[in-house]
Amino acid sequence: MKRPLPALARALACRLLMGAAVRLLGQQQSEWAQAMRAEVVSMGSEREALSFAWGCLCAALGHALAATRGGLAQVHTAGVLSCAIAVLAGCAFMVSAGAPAHYAWMNLLSLAFAVATFGLLPRRRLQADELLRARLSFALGALWLAASLGQAADGASAWLPVGPVALNLAWLLLPALLVASDVRPGSAAGRWAWGGLLLACGALALQADAVLLGLVAAVLCVRACQRGGGALALLSLGAAALAAQRGPAWQAPEALAFVDQVVCRGFEQSLATGLVLALLQVLPLWPALRHRRARLHGLVWGLLLALSLPGWLPSPLVGFGGSFIVGYLLSLALLGADASERPATRPPAAAAGGGRAPPSWPRTGLT
């Protein structure tokens, strides 16, 4: 006897819904998918099976969205987009406000170089291998200190001429070094990272940069409170002491148009321009607001932003300065995986001993 058409339609819809749910769960959750299929097959009523299949699809979709929202690829996408928008809008402001023509061109070229470099870096390997990130942080600190020692006879400076372009190593390397050195304390990677931080503090002390030494102390203090590392706490205290000792030798730089306090200059033009620039200035913090893995990155760049408001540092990304643009994406690429966010390779029901009971997928009551 043939089944009526509505029953065939329900059976086909159930099959399609289950196929979509299985695809969303993927290979890692294949045991859940098998349990779902077994329960659907065991149901005698097409209406009940369809209701269960719909609930499975909704739950699988929620699982997939949660995994996507926490994934490092989405952090990278959000960061690159926010950086590009801030830089492009800042260039538009500079052109409209009469800045020197090469300001916008240099920022655009820096953005293109930063995006190209970001795409070439082995981000997945950097994410998974904390020892590689720690060694890289040590290499960045060694490069920075070597450059500072090479200039010590004439007065150490963060500026390093590379052909016709001058790079500010502090703005370029410090955010990346702070992010890359975020590894487990006490491990081999932790010792490499600790060495890189010591070298960076030495370079900042040679340059008498009390502001950035204070930033390092603040970041390490937060990390020590979160991880409970005694070495990090000691290094934070050491950086704070160096900042206090070098404070009298530090002088606030002379404010330059389209470089420093760009938001204030926007408000001088109009309220709307100032509000837009203020929004663009905080846009690079967007990845940290949406993704847990980027919170250290957001802390570093939030502090840089706060220090730029009184004019102690240039305005990141929206103002003229390619070192900050490259430094933003470099530090974003060095983010590591958060162990607390890694999905379990096996569902709890499968990990437990004994028989494997089907997971309790929600039934939606679809009729």
pTM: 0.73
Q: Is the pLDDT of residue 18 over 60?
A: yes
Tokens representing residue 271 in the block? 């309220």
Question: At 40, is the pLDDT very low, low, confident or very high (cuts 50, 70, 90)?
Answer: confident
- Please give the share of the chain, as a percent, with pLDDT higher than 90: 39
What distance in Å separates the CA atoms of residue 228 and residue 184, rounded to the nearest whole number?
10
In degrees and rounded to multiples of 5, residue 165 shows phi and psi of: -110, 140
Write the pLDDT tens digit of every residue in 305-316.
999 998 899 999
Which residues lie closer than 8 Å to 168 by C-beta, 6 or more apart? 158, 159, 160, 321, 323
Look at residue 165 and give its three-state secondary structure.
strand
Q: How far is CA 82 from CA 111, 176, 259, 279, 281, in A?
A: 12, 17, 19, 11, 10
Write the pLDDT tens digit of every residue in 206-219.
888 899 999 999 99
Counting Cα atoms < 13 Å in the Cβ hemisphere of 23 gives 6
Tracing tokens 């159930």 back to the chain, one arrives at 14
As a whole number, the mean pLDDT across the chain is 81
Tracing tokens 């029953």 back to the chain, one arrives at 7
CB 50 within 8 A of CB 10: yes
Write the pLDDT tens digit of every residue in 79-103.
999 999 999 999 999 999 888 989 9
What is the per-residue pLDDT for 351? 36
What distance in Å separates the CA atoms of residue 193 and residue 301, rounded to the nearest whole number?
20
- Please give the share of the chain, as a percent, with pLDDT higher than 70: 82
What is the per-residue pLDDT for 364? 38
Burial of 184 (C-beta count, 10 Å sphere; 0-12/13-18/19+)? middle
Buried b / exposed e along 77-92 (16+ C-beta atoms within 10 A): ebbbebbbebbbbbbe
* CA nearest neighbour of 75 among 243, 305, 298: 298
Question: Could you tell me how far CA 195 lies from the centroid of its own chain?
Answer: 23
Tokens representing residue 20 in the block? 């979509």
